[in-house]
């Protein structure tokens, strides 16, 4: 069942996954682009439940969002039809490995960087915490996570950060962000760590919740990429060319301002942001 558009609010990073072509070994010929071009279709993995990156507006059956519209525009510039496969975050990389999809929007870390290739960034951000309004002063540093319960997906970097600083992580499947935030409000969890822009929009969409962003904590710079199979160099070149043109002609800025309340996430933030050691 699809929820109302104003409740479809983000938690994660999304992943563009190029599949359908299978994987190539390190020495295999890169024929991914030829196969995609011949089929005339690019298959993109996306959650479909995460506002404003991938969601269904209220009373609409048409998928939209920042990541969705970027991939539609990339497809248009490459003369390809874009087909979306709705998948939870934890399913994305497995779908890419199996060849079920061709691309997915996501940040990359750890072994993921070695297993896949990825485009230049089209979104820059950093992490923040959502906590109960009357407990803002209880979270003045990351070290205050010790002993707390954090809501998150099982394999995200945000859950890794929570665990690193001593929090227990309550994991969720492919749910909308109102579920995470309501659990903070009702005390089932204490905190949600996630992308700043997504948290900001989530709170705007759910103004009645007694939760807020801790304003003084900014940490873990993150980038969003189009993730593809390891040796698909020509496809990577095509996607990067489209993203470069979209930045230069203002398309990325226009889409960002449309979906992020006037903010340009295609520009690097200048804030003083804490780096976290041993978190990739």
DSSP class of 226: E
Q: Which residues in the chain land under pLDDT 50?
A: 1-28
Stated as kind and residue range, the H or E segment containing 247 is helix 233-248
Q: What is the pLDDT of residue 111?
A: 62
Q: Tokens 């989530």 identify what position? A: 202
pLDDT tens digits, one per residue of 138-157: 999 999 999 999 999 887 88
Q: Residues, the chain, total?
A: 280
Which has the closest alpha carbon to 224: 177, 260, 190, 170? Answer: 260
Measured distance CA(201)–CA(96) in Å, rounded: 29
Q: So what's the pLDDT on residue 1?
A: 40
DSSP 272: -
Which pLDDT value is given to residue 173? Answer: 81
Six token digits for residue 123: 């979104």
Who's near 23: CB < 8 A, 6+ residues apart? Answer: 97, 99, 229, 230
| Angstrom distance (rounded) from CA 198 to CA 172 | 17
Whole-structure pTM value? 0.75
Residue (of 13, 10, 12, 70) closest to 42 by Cα position? 70
Q: Is 13 left (phi over 0), alpha (psi -120 to 50) or beta?
A: beta
pLDDT at position 264 is 96
Set out the domains of the chain in order of their start, with CATH numbers: 5-123+223-259 (3.40.190.10), 125-220 (3.40.190.10)
102-106 and 168-172: which strand pairing?
A: unpaired
pLDDT digits (tens, 9 = 90+) for 50-96: 888 999 998 999 999 999 999 999 999 999 999 999 998 778 888 99
């Amino acid at each position: 069942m699809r929820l109302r558009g104003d409740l479809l609010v983000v938690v994660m990073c999304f992943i563009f996954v190029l599949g359908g072509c299978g994987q190539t070994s390190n020495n295999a010929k890169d024929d991914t682009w030829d196969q995609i071009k011949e089929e005339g279709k690019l298959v993109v993995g996306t959650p479909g439940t995460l506002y404003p990156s991938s969601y269904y507006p209220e009373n609409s059956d048409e998928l939209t969002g920042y990541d969705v519209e970027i991939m539609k525009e990339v497809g248009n510039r490459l003369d390809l039809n874009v087909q979306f496969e709705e998948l939870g975050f934890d399913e994305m990389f497995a779908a890419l490995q199996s060849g079920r999809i061709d691309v997915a929007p996501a940040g990359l870390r750890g072994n993921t960087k070695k297993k896949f290739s990825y485009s230049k960034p089209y979104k820059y951000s950093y992490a923040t915490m959502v906590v109960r309004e009357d407990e803002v002063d209880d979270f003045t540093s990351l070290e205050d996570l010790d002993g707390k319960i954090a809501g998150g997906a099982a394999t995200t970097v945000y859950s890794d950060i929570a665990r690193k600083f001593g929090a227990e992580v309550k994991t969720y499947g492919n749910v909308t962000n109102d579920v995470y935030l309501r659990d903070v409000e009702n005390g089932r969890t204490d905190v949600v760590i996630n992308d700043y822009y997504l948290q900001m929009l989530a709170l705007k969409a759910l103004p009645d919740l007694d939760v807020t962003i801790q304003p003084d904590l900014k940490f873990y710079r993150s980038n969003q990429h189009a993730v593809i199979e390891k040796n698909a160099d020509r496809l990577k070149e095509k996607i990067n060319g489209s993203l470069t043109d979209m930045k230069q002609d203002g398309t990325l800025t226009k889409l960002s301002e449309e979906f992020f309340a006037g903010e340009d996430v295609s520009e690097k933030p200048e804030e003083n942001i804490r780096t976290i050691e041993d978190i990739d």
